[in-house]
Chain A
Amino acid sequence: MKIKRLIAGMILVLACVLLIRVINWQEPANHLTSSQTFIVYFASEEGFSLVPEIRVGEGLIHNRLEALVEGPRTPNLVRVFPHDTRIIGYQIVDDLLYVNFNQAFVDNHPGGSLGELLTVYGLVNSVTEDPQINKVVILVEGKQIPTLAGHLDLLEPLSRDQSLIAKMQ
């Protein structure tokens, strides 16, 4: 029984090798990690807190940023980035993440301390889910800005603010 299985296995190995040579397989890693998920934060409907949304995929910085730009998929959650926000680029220096936004990030921001907090900490809390990142610097068209909507000081690197995250029941 065991020998039969071994032989069957060997045949399979050969078949695989041949097949892999013939056709261009996608890296199997993608399939096996398909159960991987990561968390990004969006705002609750009435703005009381940030709420985690689970996304399928690898928790890389660009995936997190892309999810934030795309907006929530969960009903009743509210996007934290203003409309037409685009990420120009980002840079990781040690544990510091620089995110460079386009001008719409500032121009289309609705204002209000609540909106400003949820925008900024929706970003900071989402990217600091990555253990490599501890602080975030927001750039707009490559420049640091003193504030986004007149309440938060954005000239200092920003750390995670756990208090804004909705408590689980």
Chain B
Amino acid sequence: MRKSGLIFIILLSFIISFSFSTQAAFNLYIGEHLTELHTPLKRVNGNILVPLSVIADYLAVKIEMVDETRFTMEFPTKTITMQIDEVNALVNGVEQVLEVPPMVSNNEIMVPLRFIADALNFRIVFDNQQMALVLVLNKDMAEYVASKLADPDWESRPKSPTVFTSSTDLDEFERAELREIVFLDGPRSRVFIDVQGYTAYESVLLTEPDRLFIDLIGIDGDPLPVLELNDPIIQRIRSSRFNENTIRIVLDLNEATHYKIHRWPNGGLEIEFNYQIGDFQFYRDANGIAKLAFSGTAQPPFQSTSFHSPTRLSLDFQDTTLIGGYKEFSVDDSRVKQIRVSQYTPSVTRVVLDLTAPLTPVSSGKVNDQFEVIFFDGTAEDYQRYTLSQPEVDPYIAISSDAEEADMDLDDSEKPLKGRVVVIDPGHGGSDPGAIGVAGTFEKDIVLDIGLKLGELLEAAGARVAYTRIDDRYVSIFDRPVVAEIVNADIFISIHCNSYEGELAKGIETLYSPLFLENFRLAQIIQKELVVELEMQDRGLRPRPNLHVLNGTSMPSVMVELGFLSHPEEEKLLNSSQFRARAADALFNGVVRYFMQQN
């Protein structure tokens, strides 16, 4: 028992994944036991399907039919529910999606083995010697199964359901076929081997000459023509038929570089090479700024970690192969004593800077084919303080009609908004243009115009109006709600236009903070007025708990997004003065209706 356990472990580390010879049936071991297969295993889209009765018999699992197509498998730790021809499954009540649904074949329910193995933490290996698939159980499960199967009562279990009228009949066993080898663009050197169906593979990285072998096992089709590449790592990709069962793909490399292979769920393998980096040097530029320069095939991001006692900083460059091996050098610097560079794991290059005082990486750049990390002399907190110490633009508050003026308008008591205070917040401004339209329209100009038009209407109706800006200047999002607080506003209306990647998004949305119901009421009324008046797509109300201008105000507040500048037609509309007047009208009607319904 123990020895065969050991064999399985060794198999695990040796056999790279499944490999199937041809359509010939192969065996299935569950734990120690060679299963009796009345219905042969099926392979669909790279997934192995096994008869449900085998799971029941050899894993001592209770199967219950919930209804005609749904069934549960009760494992000691997990209950899995599946439905024939349905990709949705439940694992302990949590919904999961199957790559291949259970199906009926030969009057038996077939279930995807990989899914069950993953759910229960079993492993699947292929035993080349015996041409058998092996489901390796964990210790707990192995003991459970052994005890159950030894239990005489278990033998009297009700026979698991097997007889069904076939709902789906499977095609013959699929045979994998090599279709294409594609070099994928991007900063990393990546290759996609497009295989129809599921194939086993083995890979070996060799040096002198440096190359990577990938053997695709159990595969049909012809080798592909040589692919010559202009890539820092891969010179060319060749393929040849190694034997009747195997195609060998050879990637000729400039330098042996660590790689990863990912299997794509619907067939095919993605090979991803590390970045190469090396030649690390530390220096200070003419301005005394500390820099770590290195060469590389691309600029990899790094994870930085600061350590105390002794003070040091580590930079872990992810997915990198260090060229030139371990290096340690001392540095003549006021803060850095020594730098050590090593291949920390096969995919991480770790650079440790032994420090006498803290140093923080803040930026990176590329200078003459060399990459560099740029440091700040101090801690990360010091750097934030240093950057915040540069003064911001002074906030500007414009209040168009003050209380005195409004109070003198005594004969206007009939006006609907008499005594109301409204703050209008045209978004962006000054150095911040906001969204920029496809034809070059600036959001800040559009929203200012609508805001001023709205203000005129509100004032005419007797309201006092304050603006966060009345001209093209920058006001930070932190200062905008302050205006509303100073004038003790009744409502706050922030006016924006939207923008989005592509040209599909269009229409109007009104954003509000869901913290207070009153915000919702205001948003609902205004959105309705806008959609009806402007006859644009209604994208609805958007509860946005994260918008600062809406969170910073203590009175009901909304942010209206009056169409998309990224949508050519809506940009045209927003550019028309007539449309902007209608938008202001709609907002005005909304405000009036809000106050009327409040009473």
Q: A residues bordering B, Cβ < 8 Å? A: 5-6, 8-10, 12-13, 16, 19-20, 23-28, 30-32, 34-35, 37, 43, 45-48, 54, 56-57, 60-62, 65-66, 70, 78-79, 86-92, 98, 100, 102, 110-115, 117, 139, 141-144, 146-147, 149-153, 158, 161, 163
Contact = CB atoms under 8 A, between A and B. Distances in A.
Query: Lowest 8 A-B CB distances belong to which pairs?
Result: A142-B362, A112-B499, A111-B435, A9-B7, A153-B548, A62-B318, A87-B301, A34-B263
Contact of A86 (B16, B299, B360): B299
A113 B547 contact: yes
B344 to A, nearest CB: 14
Contact of A5 (B4, B498, B511): B4
B544 A117 contact: yes
Given A24-B206, A56-B265, A91 B303 contact: yes
Contact of B303 (A8, A62, A149, A158): A62
Nearest to A19: B14
Contacts of A27: 346
B261 A16 contact: no
Nearest to A144: B384
5 contacts: A78-B500, A111-B428, A114-B561, A150-B477, A153-B546
Contact of A115 (B130, B387, B477, B501): B501
Given A16-B14, A115-B499, A153-B477, A26 B303 contact: no
A78 B502 contact: yes
B129 A8 contact: yes
B10 interface: yes
A146 B476 contact: yes
A113 B501 contact: no
Contacts of A23: 204, 206
Contact of B17 (A34, A88, A142, A152): A34
A2 to B, nearest CB: 8
B368 to A, nearest CB: 18
A57 B347 CA distance: 14
Contact of A111 (B11, B383, B434): B434
Interface in B8-48: 10-14, 16-17
Nearest to A89: B302
Contacts of B188: 66
Given A27-B346, A114-B505, A115-B499, A34 B427 contact: no
B346 A114 contact: no
Given A6-B4, A56-B262, A113-B547, A28 B14 contact: yes
Contacts, number: 225
A31 B10 contact: no
Given A43-B501, A56-B262, A98-B380, 13 more contacts: A5-B130, A9-B10, A12-B11, A13-B6, A27-B346, A28-B12, A86-B364, A89-B303, A92-B305, A112-B565, A113-B559, A142-B361, A158-B546
A159 B96 CA distance: 25
Nearest to B498: A112
Nearest to A118: B500
A113 B496 contact: yes
B226 to A, nearest CB: 24
B500 A115 contact: yes
Contacts of B203: 26
